[in-house]
Amino acid sequence: MSPFTYFAETLTEDEAKKLRKRLALQYHPDVADDGGATMRNINTEFERWLEWKLNPPILVPAPTSNWASPEDWWSAIANASHQKAATQPPPRPTPSPPPQAATPPSQAATPPPPLRRSRSAGPSRSATQREMDDYFAAQNTYPDSHGHRVFGIVTILYTAYLTGLTIEALEIRGSNPRHQIRESGTVVYERPATRAWQAERRDLIARATARNY
């Protein structure tokens, strides 16, 4: 019997992430009338499934009467551990930045223009769906020099991983700019963002850190 309700054991990591995205659109607190309980269960199970997928349990055969001593039992455990290590995929390499061309001494270095993310043409998305898409994409984006993860209209300013709980402080731009604090993907605190965004960011991160919301 599978220990998971939403994520099958045979899924790949990419398939599980796509499934989580579909479930988020179906059980988002703005859509489902359960106060976000289902979404919290989905996020908690996804983190538990991901931990299980990356570190599968060691399967050891049960003791039998054919084993002469406890040393046979420990030998079986060691063999199972070696087999697990042999089947574990190698760690993902960390991408290194491309080499920078040296600037001649007589030429002043100018900062590069800001990158623009192009979006492929397609059907228009609702504001809620765009926020969810950009939110999940930001979670899988490498942090910038300030430690922020940015994609589209969503900036994740702060993330804390607790036991069974992930706390995030977000800034959402667009037609309805605002700041949010989320617990395992569920919005628990929200307020409009104004031109005093620097002070508001500091206050938001302080609230998320102290869990004062």
Domain residues of the chain, as ranges?
A: 13-54, 127-210
Indicate whether 162 pLDDT > 70.
Answer: yes
Q: Is the dihedral of CA 172, 174, 176, 177 positive or negative?
A: positive
Distances (CA, A) of 182 to 2, 71, 72, 79, 142: 29, 50, 50, 43, 19
pLDDT for 123 beyond 50: no
Q: How far apart are the first and last CA of the chain?
A: 39
Q: Has residue 92 got a pLDDT over 50?
A: yes
Are 190 and 203 spatial neighbours (Cβ–Cβ below 8 Å)? no
Q: What is the pLDDT of residue 110?
A: 66
Q: Which two tokens stand for residue 51?
A: 């931990």
Confidence of residue 120 (pLDDT cuts 50, 70, 90): very low
**Percent of the chain beyond pLDDT 70?**
68
Residue 73 has pLDDT above 70, yes or no: no
* pLDDT above 90 (res 86): no
Q: Could you give the C-alpha distances from 145 to 91, 157, 197, in angstroms and in order?
A: 24, 12, 18
Q: Does 46 have pLDDT greater than 70?
A: yes
> What is the per-residue pLDDT for 34?
87
Query: How does the average pLDDT of the chain come out, rounded?
Result: 81
The first and second tokens of residue 96, run together, are: 């290194």
What is the tens place of the pLDDT at every residue in 126-158? 888 888 999 999 999 989 988 899 999 999 999
Which pLDDT score is estimated for 181? 96
When pLDDT is cut at 50, 70 and 90, the band that residue 197 belongs to is: confident
Tell me which residue has tokens 């054991």: 9
Is 145:161 a contact under the CB 8 Å cutoff?
A: no
Cα–Cα distance between 4 and 86 in angstroms, integer?
26
